[in-house]
Amino acid sequence: MKVIKLALIIFLFLASCAWSDEISDKVDDLFMKASSGEVQFRDLVEPSKEELIEMGEQAVGQLITKLATEDARERHTLEAIFKGIGEPAVPYLIGALQTENLYQLRLASICLGKIGHSDGTEPVMELFDHYNHTVRSSAATAVGNIGDTIAVEALIVLLSDSTETVRKSASVALGKIGHPNAIDPLIATLSDPHYSVRYSAEGSLVKIGEESGDNLLERTEYLDKLALYHTVAVWQKLKYSPARKTLEKYLKSPDNYLRGFSLLALAEIDSGRAKKHIRKIQDKENDLFVLSCMKKAGEIISKDDE
């Protein structure tokens, strides 16, 4: 009897290994087709992705082994598959963060962000202190995509990172989360030395909405020149009417950029008033930048009149 039981145990063990190998081989084959750029597999790419997604957790173990890939096509394919599998993949991806491989760290973070489950927030946030700036940047992007408010304060700290790509990723992430605590730090970021960080802060303030417009209006006298340009752009994109009088004041500024940007913003916010100001200044203005803005403002007004 004992011999029979032992034989059964051995049989089940070997069968499970064979089944595991069969699954691994199937995942490898499907992934090769899903991530292939070869013409012969062109019609198999999407069906192979879909089949891997349908396999769900059954495929995850083998897919995790591919996270260290340096191939861009394979990385994009893994992002799509893990996003499709969703929550069942989260614990495996969190486990995959326990590595020194930079490719795996970045991709595991990105995939957790694509899935968007809050369980991934804190494990990814631990990478905010990583020595490599690309890992920090990917982690910031991931928690922004997850959208969990517990990351807000840590992302605000990243706005002071030594690398502009990290600061930009943190700025974009704060806009996606949309918490009002980020408004003041993002306003400060409008003065960042790198243009990409400034523009991302501008976009994030717009995403947060009218409360950003209110805070900017209260702080205009304390803003430097660059921050003021972006402030006007935020008002323009929000169509923030309380800024109308301030914009009219800026139309008299000796700063040609501020005059031009303010005219565009006023055209979006109050086309009637903008039209009156254009009539007043069109024969006096000779700065080429302001004249180009005047033309664009006229186009905005014309659309409103239609």
> Tell me, what's the pLDDT at 231?
98
**Among the listed residues 226, 273, 212, the one whose alpha carbon sits nearest the alpha carbon of residue 248:** 273
Mean pLDDT of 84-105: 96
Cβ neighbour number for residue 81 with a 10 Å cutoff: 28
Cβ neighbour number for residue 58 with a 10 Å cutoff: 14
Does 38 have pLDDT greater than 80?
Answer: no
Q: How confident is the model at residue 306 (pLDDT cuts 50, 70, 90)?
A: low
What is the average pLDDT value for the chain, to the nearest integer? 91
> Tell me, what's the pLDDT at 167?
98
Rounded percentage of the chain residues whose pLDDT exceeds 90: 81
Q: How confident is the model at residue 10 (pLDDT cuts 50, 70, 90)?
A: very low
**pLDDT tens-digit readout, 105-144:** 999 999 999 999 999 999 999 999 999 999 999 999 999 9
Cβ neighbour number for residue 69 with a 10 Å cutoff: 16
Give the Cα separation of 157 and 167 in Å (integer): 9
Mean pLDDT of 208-223: 96
Angle, CA 186 vertex, CA 182 and CA 191 arms, to 5° = 165
**pLDDT tens-digit readout, 175-212:** 999 999 999 999 999 999 999 999 999 999 999 999 99
**pLDDT tens-digit readout, 151-183:** 999 999 999 999 999 999 999 999 999 999 999
Q: What is the amino acid identity at position 200?
A: S
Give the Cα separation of 84 and 80 in Å (integer): 6
> Which is higher by pLDDT, 15 or 109?
109
Q: Percent helix, strand, coil in the chain (nearest 5)?
A: 80, 0, 20
Query: What is the model's pTM?
Result: 0.88
Provide the 8-state DSSP code for 177: H
Burial class (CB in 10 A: 0-12, 13-18, 19+), 84: middle
